Structure formats: C-alpha cells, structure tokens
Amino acid sequence: MDNDKLIKEAKVAMEFSYSPYSKFKVGAALLTKSGKIYTGCNIENASYGATNCAERVALHKAISEGEKEFIKIAVVSSSNDLTYPCGICRQVLAEFMPKGQLILMNQQEQIKVFDMEKIMPFAFKLDEDTMK
C-alpha cells in the first residue's frame, strides 16, 4: 500500500480529535500485516495524564480486534512542523512494529519516512532472562 492512502486516512482521523485544551489535533493510520488500516486521533482529558495519543489509539484498536503485526503508521497533525511520536508511543510502536516504518506529514505536505529502528533504537524489551 502506498503512503499517500495511509496519510489520507490519518488526515480523516485527525478531524475526530478531541483536543479542547491544547487545540493540537493529531491523526494516525496504522497498516497491519493483513492489509487492514486502523485509525486513531488524540483524545485529551482535563486530567492531562489520562490523555491518549493518536498512535496508541490506532494501535490499541487494532490489537483489540486481534491484529498483532504492523507494517507502517502515518501521523499527521495540525502543526506546521512534523509531529514525531512521544516517547511512550515510540516504546509501544517499537514493541509491535520494530521493523516497521513511520510516515510523517506536516500542514505544508512535507513528508518524511523513517524506519522505527532509527526512531527508537534502544527500545526496552522483556526477555526470558529479565523475567527470572
């Protein structure tokens, strides 16, 4: 699937953003290995810690529907700058799509594509030794 379709889906998702506090809208579209696309938008809360990012909304929707393997994710926002995932989202994405791609686009339609390994090179991982 080409990146343009994923970006278009992320733009649509951004319109559903619930961001009354920051006015900062974010949309994400996640492509699964099975070919399905799951979208998400940022959802703010007056208790800021309860806010959820667009990337995790899309990922959690997909996981709750049985998906576990992901190819790439597109992220767009209302910002003039590219909107990189926060640290929490990078960690979550690194667990589910360590070999995937991150596609970013700003309001001027500047697009950049990154390998997740470059965005989160030293992601935290649990292994059998850690669990002992």
Catalytic positions: 55
Residues belonging to the binding site for Zn(2+) are 53, 86, 89
Give the long-range contacts of residues 79-88, CB within 8 A, separation 24 or more: 79/24, 79/106, 79/107, 80/106, 80/107, 80/108, 81/106, 82/106, 82/110, 82/112, 83/26, 84/119, 85/53, 85/55, 85/119, 86/53, 88/53, 88/56
Residues belonging to the binding site are 42-48, 53, 86, 89
Tally of CA atoms within 13 A in the half-sphere of 132 that contains its CB: 3
Residues belonging to the binding site for substrate are 42-48
Q: Identify the H or E element spanning 70.
A: strand 70-77
Q: What is the Cα–Cα distance from 94 to 101, expressed in whole angstroms?
A: 10
